[in-house]
Structure 1
Amino acid sequence: MQLNSLIERVEIPARQARSVRVGAGRRVRVTTETGGQVGDLFAFTGDDLAEHLSAAHTRAHVGRLFPAVGEQFVTDLREPILTLIEDASPGRHDMLIPACDPARYRALGVVGAHASCAENLRRVAGPLGREIDVVPQPVNVFMDIPVDQEGDLAWLRSPAAAGASITFEAVRECVVIVSACPQDLVDINGGTPKPLVLEYAAHMEGSVRS
């Protein structure tokens, strides 16, 4: 599936996050070029980024744990924000697990600082004029968290091979923020966090990118 014209490429270093502004009708693709790397994806609308993609509202909207190709993600105001256009991966993604944060790493035995998706989001959103008080539930692309018949979760290594990608189309102009998850204590990234790549169609001069 081709992106729109004026393609921009943004490399997301391991353990860090980047943001892009995507115009309505434009597409954005997340790729794990090395394979096996989870990405926490957030999306916000409005100049003040007050409305955000909501995993919980999306599950209710589509009646599934994760949208199928052609279905939409919605915001906390139940408005469409992204459409899943193409999934060139094994199709294992998650919308149950919250973004990792300092408390999560302390619980896993980390002493001192450790990068996290929650802090990555706050760091990237700050220059955009948005202070994040409550971190939204992310869309965890390439993350495999199956639920068994007893309701138990399994934390599996990402099955996404090198070059796997997932492509979204913006229903409305939005800021998309993706964190290359720093998790190295649970095996979702194979023990070694790796970079991700964002490709998007710039919709105007001066598109947000940080």
Structure 2
Amino acid sequence: MRHAPEDADARRAIPPVICYPVETLPQPDLALYQRALATAKPSARVTAPPRDAATFRVPAGSFFRITCEGGPQVGDLNLWNAEDLSERFYSGKTRALHGTHVSTGDRLWSSFPHLRPMATIVADTLDWYGIDAFGGAVHDVIGTRCDPYTGHLLAGTQYHHCCHSNLTRALADALNVPLHQAEPLVHDVLNVFMCTGFTRDTGQYFMKASPVRPGDSLTFFAEINLLGALSACPGGDCSAEHSSDTAHCHPLGIEVLTPDPETLSSWQPPARNAYDGTHGGPASSCP
């Protein structure tokens, strides 16, 4: 390591600047969504079995709720525009706009060139957790998803029930396509119920036992027509490891809730991003 320069302390003392000030970010009308949610009735339900995944569809203007069942369990969530799978959840931009972890009032944003809200979190029974003494918090958009490639890289394993593989199988079944066609559509996730952070000394991504308990839930409003996939992580509550056939694992429930349409009479789905797409090049290059 190089010797620190004489002005090292002064350099470290420079205050940070928020990369994306959000004062001008369009805000969700949570009061409207709460009124609609109060009228919503279950219209569909699926279960993500332990160490496996399930897909579900949610029409724009409806809600979906992910619920812990049986015991502490985390889940990996993917979302797509049900009518255009090239528009998918963008965890990196969601993280940049809202922070490393999300909760009530935060939105899940879609990939370029669309960049619009796909879903808004309207209720979170774990919002009391906050940030703990280790720097851990719940529902992160910093982890990618447990996958067989990293497992083989680090441990030489051939493990097939990690979240990446679970999501790939579930999506292939939903679309009736081969696995190799579904896999490129699987993307970085919202780690539902997972408690994570970065170590203070080395800056490494860590996980710890999730505070989730049976009955806890995370509820979203679908801003556009959605195809979703949820994997019940093979790490269970992720208190020890995240690709395991020995961790205690439990199912996760996904319920679609349909509100009274009259409660959303003033709501409109968000438009795609209005950037002109020229990227500084000749206008004729745009479709």
Give 1 or 2 for the bigger CA radius of gyration. Answer: 2
Deviation, 1:144, is 0.7
Please show how residues 148-187 of structure 1 align to structure 2 within 5 Å. 148-150=199-201, 151-183=203-235, 187=240
Deviation, 1:4, is 2.2
Q: What is aligned with 1:4?
A: 40
Judged with a 3 Å threshold, the aligned counterparts in structure 2 of structure 1 residues 157 and 23 are, in CA distance, closer, same or farther, namely same
Which has more helix, going by share of residues?
2
Deviation, 1:76, is 1.0
TM-score (norm 1): 0.84
Structure ranking higher on relative contact order (CA contacts 8 Å, 6+ apart): 1
Q: What is aligned with 1:68?
A: 103
Of 114, 137, 142, the match for 2:188: 137
In the alignment, the residues of structure 2 paired with residue 3 and residue 113 of structure 1 have an alpha-carbon distance, to the nearest angstrom, of: 43
Paired residue secondary structure (2:92) = helix
Report the number of matched residues: 202
Structure 2 counterpart of 1:21, one-letter code? R
Structure 2 counterpart of 1:187, one-letter code? A
Please show how residues 11-160 of structure 1 align to structure 2 within 5 Å. 11-62=47-98, 64-77=99-112, 78-89=115-126, 91=129, 92-107=138-153, 109=155, 111-126=157-172, 127-128=174-175, 131-133=182-184, 135-150=186-201, 151-160=203-212
* Bigger mean CA deviation after superposition, 26-35 or 90-99: 90-99
* Bigger mean CA deviation after superposition, 17-26 or 112-121: 112-121
In the alignment, the residues of structure 2 paired with residue 100 and residue 159 of structure 1 have an alpha-carbon distance, to the nearest angstrom, of: 20
Deviation, 1:111, is 4.1
- The alignment-based identity, stated in percent, is 30
Deviation, 1:3, is 7.0
Q: Is the Cα–Cα contact under 8 Å of residues 22 and 202 in structure 1 kept in the other structure?
A: no
Deviation, 1:110, is 6.4
Structure 1 counterpart of 2:210, one-letter code? S
Paired residue secondary structure (1:120) = helix
Q: Gaps spanning 5+ residues in structure 2: where? A: 1-36, 130-137, 260-287
In the alignment, the residues of structure 1 paired with residue 72 and residue 233 of structure 2 have an alpha-carbon distance, to the nearest angstrom, of: 11
Give the alignment's Cα RMSD to 1 decimal. 2.5
Judged with a 3 Å threshold, the aligned counterparts in structure 2 of structure 1 residues 113 and 70 are, in CA distance, closer, same or farther, namely closer
